[in-house]
Structure 1
Amino acid sequence: MNRLLLALPLILIAACNKDPEVKMENATVGEVAKEMRKQGGSDSFVNPGRWQQTVALLEMDAQGMSPEAKSMMQRAMEKVQVHTVCLTEAQAKSPKEDFFTGADQNCRYEHFNWGDGKIDLKLNCKHPNATQTMVLTGTYEPDSYVLTMTSNSEGSRPMEKMTMKMKVDAKRVGACDGTEGADVAS
């Protein structure tokens, strides 16, 4: 899940232009990435540069979680994390196939709707002993976005069921300066 948090800035700003629109159902990760590249044409979907995202954990629940673990989760929900990334011109124009899910080829979009300043997607990932569903909804502009992500995971045992909901607020804060990737918790 931490990899997903760090990838969110790139996931979410990959198509921040109100002109192109991508609507797909039952699509592979590669099919969505290909369509996003095609819609990008010669222009960037988003302004390249330094992006800052603020992540707040709103809810988290896991079956069988000990009282100590629940207390730790509650403390985590009280903290806000800030991540920064540098989005290059090349990344803004042409995201790679694994741009949205990393190297995980076990994922498929139930639906992927991106356009007119709105995003709504549902991604299902199936592994031998676990499944994960991620629902992402929100709004975006070329230099900012706000979204809510809900993730449900289920493993082969009842205690491996977890639900998490978070809010992400991001904005372009200028040119890249080489300090991107520094995480700050408050």
Structure 2
Amino acid sequence: MRPFILASFACLAACGSGDTVEMTNASAGDVAKEMGKSDVAFVSPGKWQQTASLLEMDVPGMPPQVAEAMKKAVGTSQVHETCLTEEQAKRPKEDFFTGAEKNCRYEHFKWGGGKVDMKIVCTEPQATKTMEMTGTYEPNSYQMAMAMSGQGAQPGQTMNMKMRVDAKRIGECDGRES
């Protein structure tokens, strides 16, 4: 699930002002094409700092020592810096929103007027992953609530997680982003 989470953070870096995009039952490629049609950048390019806070995590059936480690992770935050070029801000690639995931569809995707509301489902032979994001944004900052769940092919292979991501543009890219 980790690549899915990191891809979600990349998606969040794309928040900003501009045209409204609203789609249902759409592929990641279709959403990326719609997002890339406008000449208006959806965010300000530059160096962004994202703080992701883990609010809840539930993985039923985990061994007690793993469950205890997960409990300790709840309430922690990670800070990540990334550089968004002008071209990336104007024309995101298809994988900008889903990362390496190939079998994803948006149940709904609404982006505009300072608000984001989306639900994406990714299916693989052994798992289904769902991510929902809602939040608000301005050209140089955003706040998002994320809920992610995963269901494996076997009973007991489930995971539920809730996070909050706060981000702000902190300047120009300097090559030291992680």
TM beyond 0.5: yes
Question: C-alpha separation between the residues in 2 aligned to 1:132 and 1:4?
Answer: 9
Equivalent residue, structure 2, for 1:86:
83
Unaligned runs of at least 5 residues, structure 2: none
Equivalent residue, structure 2, for 1:33:
32
Equivalent residue, structure 2, for 1:184:
none
Kindly state the Cα deviation for residue 9 of structure 1 after the two structures are TM-superposed: 4.1
Question: C-alpha separation between the residues in 2 aligned to 1:7 and 1:97?
Answer: 11
Equivalent residue, structure 1, for 2:45:
48
1:143 to 134, 140, 145: 140
Equivalent residue, structure 2, for 1:6:
6
> One-letter code of the match for 2:2?
N
> One-letter code of the match for 2:11?
I
Question: C-alpha separation between the residues in 1 aligned to 2:5 and 2:30?
Answer: 23
Kindly state the Cα deviation for residue 13 of structure 1 after the two structures are TM-superposed: 3.2
> One-letter code of the match for 1:6?
L
Kindly state the Cα deviation for residue 104 of structure 1 after the two structures are TM-superposed: 1.7
2:74 to 70, 73, 77: 77
The alignment of Structure 1 onto Structure 2 pairs a total of residues equal to 178
> One-letter code of the match for 1:4?
F
Question: C-alpha separation between the residues in 2 aligned to 1:173 and 1:147?
Answer: 18
- Is residue 16 of structure 2 the alignment partner of residue 21 of structure 1? no
Do the aligned residues in 1 keep the contact of 2:59 with 2:160 (CA within 8 Å)?
yes
In structure 2, relative to structure 1, the CA distance for the partners of 1:110 and 1:104 (3 Å cut) is same
Question: C-alpha separation between the residues in 1 aligned to 2:78 and 2:145?
Answer: 15
Do the aligned residues in 2 keep the contact of 1:14 with 1:45 (CA within 8 Å)?
yes
In structure 2, relative to structure 1, the CA distance for the partners of 1:35 and 1:113 (3 Å cut) is same
Give the percent of matched residue pairs that are identical in Structure 1 and Structure 2: 54
- Is residue 97 of structure 2 the alignment partner of residue 100 of structure 1? yes
**Residue range with higher mean Cα deviation, 144-153 or 66-75:** 66-75
Look up the SS of the partner of 1:158 in the other structure: coil
Runs of 4+ in 1 over 4 A off after TM superposition: none
1:67 to 61, 64, 67: 64
TM-score w.r.t. length of structure 1: 0.91
Look up the SS of the partner of 2:156 in the other structure: helix
Unaligned runs of at least 5 residues, structure 1: 182-186
Look up the SS of the partner of 2:41 in the other structure: coil
Kindly state the Cα deviation for residue 15 of structure 1 after the two structures are TM-superposed: 4.1
